[in-house]
Chains A and B, each alone.
Chain A
């Protein structure tokens, strides 16, 4: 009877109740949405790199090195010499090295020069390996392996011929169109920057940058395995990702790279640098959180005001309830239950519409930003926010409940 009374009473005041539910849903939507996207962006970033122990590059900013080597954001300031790379790969603590060479692009997508080691050792997400959907890894100088988004967006298939452009802008004026690359493989979607990258061999990168590459390539087999040691070997690479035989050696090796006397090099731990990155963004994150909390707070004030005004309008009704035997505590619970109903309805509306919006936006976010956002936003944190919200909605009903008890004085 108690629940029925509260429920019918809300139905009786449909319009104002609906409006307040709407206001609260919007605020809860923003709160949960911001929190979820923030969290998912982190997960996405953290998923981009998994088992690399050190990233080695020219001495510059730590963050800069991480961003351009892993996330293809920004540009490197200088390269590291081929000899340094060689020395690194022969180091006794080093298990494997992935050289990467950046700086070229194809229709706005970045081109990454590397070796077969990349496909063998690079891991993302939960230590997942790079898998090819179609074709195979490059074996010739002029082979290219496409990220899934590149292939999809530009409609490329195995066997298509493409040329690279110098620089990373979408409208590059300097094209390396004397050499055409052949698509040999397409990587399965990873939800990481890999999807937006074209992968070629280091020799391929070198070839497009020297004027007589045509002659060199026409004189011999272009198969990477059969190239002579010094043909098309780059003078430098952009960075190198290193896997160690034992993680115990990370700091020792990092120190020896950072203090390398022959060339100014720098080694970073990707995980640690990423956390520093989040640290530097935390001001903005907190601002976002603050804004969404304020929105929720204002909705709560709205609820409080709405309940208080309704009490004034319902003076007779409450008098009647008291006269037929309702205690003031009953009226108190009655108002609280109404607030709770409104809050629960708002949470339901907000979560449903958030789920719907995320499902609709999912394709767009992957397409435009390479962000794979899951639709499942129910984490302990979300449940905690919802719980807090319900408690606060009960608190916001207190002024109204107190008003009721003063009425019969």
Chain B
């Protein structure tokens, strides 16, 4: 089929007449408009040179436009892509002439009509703009939770406050800017000097099941005949409550731990987390938390199976650890 032939249903009443009087599509009006714009811009910048260029563009394009528009009047063939449209019910009812498949629309022809272009352009541009706008918004919603997380050193006061072998429930503030919300609790025992260095057991009170506050199983406070110590250090108020724990237990779902933080009963999946620490000018400084699968031995001789900090309820050893291959950035 020749591309310039009218569509096969051209003899149908609706199809041909509406196009017949219209001039064919032309790009020259666009060039003409650009020429006018250049003239106007030239009037501001450089009337002599730029406006002249604009005038030339406008005249050339205008002439070509006029040539295109009058092509039909001058009897020249107009190059128009045939528009594709569905056959009406009337056309379907017709029987095609023998030997010619008149009912087949000109589907095989390459055609990219204007409305399809506009459709695609609208959707494409919309998607582009949507994407450009969405990326920073989603980034702002998500990224601050993961980037720039800062750790805080916590000063718990001179190590002489911790008599050897005694347990204390230490409550302190990890981030002075957050005040009460950053209150944390740890169970601390001075293990004495081991290999010429002071040794401490510092167990976080966050349950390894789902993060509830674990309690010491045993008498606390004045019943022991020891004083509760209130200090004010560089990192805020610190409270040390004496305690004699037989172990630690969680009130939420009944997880139980021994005094080394080993999981002994209930739903927790590992031992209690611990704080790493340093002794700086005779003061006990908490650094950061790490996770523990289990502890062999006790006190200063304990062998701690240490892992990077994982969230409560996440296994750090055994086959289940493969469920948590990546951890979000931590301080």
- B is a partner of A: no
Residues of A within 8 A of B (CB): none
Residues of B within 8 A of A (CB): none
